[in-house]
Amino acid sequence: MEWKRDDYLVSTDKSLLQLEVIHGFLSGAYWCAGRRMDTVKLSIQNSECLGLYYQGTQIGFMRMVTDYATMYWLCDVFVVDEYRGKGLAKWMMSCLMDHPKLGRLNGYLSTTHAHGLYRQYGFESHPHPGKIMISKPL
């Protein structure tokens, strides 16, 4: 699927993804600093992804881990610094909500900021945060 707006494109086509851009951003992001390229490749292979492009250059990304039946986990969302403030993250979220396989599912995410953005698309704080657990490798 793809969505177009002026010189911008959002696409689910994984062949368009520019791994060096994605890895370059994610390896320095607070939530996954140091993530290796092989991990980025494997995570993309096993997820539904939206790439954001300006005139063919990747400038944003989001990844959804999903069973395509009940839920998705939204993660690794970014727009590179020089393109922020143009409403592009909102547009990517709108594309996600418009996605025929994902837009009707329960969405989950973990974030320390941008709550206002995600609230615009139906995300809210979990009513029972004590029920959510996480397992991390030792």
Q: Convert the pLDDT of each residue in 1-43 to its tens digit.
A: 999 999 999 999 999 999 999 999 999 999 999 999 999 999 9
Rounded to an integer, the average pLDDT of 66-70 is 97
* Interval 57-82 mean pLDDT: 97
Q: For a pLDDT cut of 90, what percent of the chain falls above it?
A: 86
Beta-carbon count within 10 A of 26 CB: 23
* Cβ-based burial of 69 (10 A; exposed 0-12, middle 13-18, buried ≥19): exposed
Residues 6+ away with beta carbon under 8 Å from 1: 11, 12, 99, 100
Q: What is the CATH number of domain 2-131?
A: 3.40.630.30
Which comes out higher in pLDDT, residue 69 or 132?
69
The answer to whether the CB of 107 falls within 8 A of the CB of 123 is yes
Three-class DSSP category at 47: coil
Q: Which of 62, 69, 66, 72 is nearest to 117 (CA)?
A: 62
> What's at 23, amino acid-wise?
H
| Alpha-carbon span 104 to 50, nearest angstrom | 16
> Beta strands of 23-126 (E only): which ranges?
48-54, 57-66, 71-79, 106-109
Mean pLDDT, the chain, whole residue set: 95
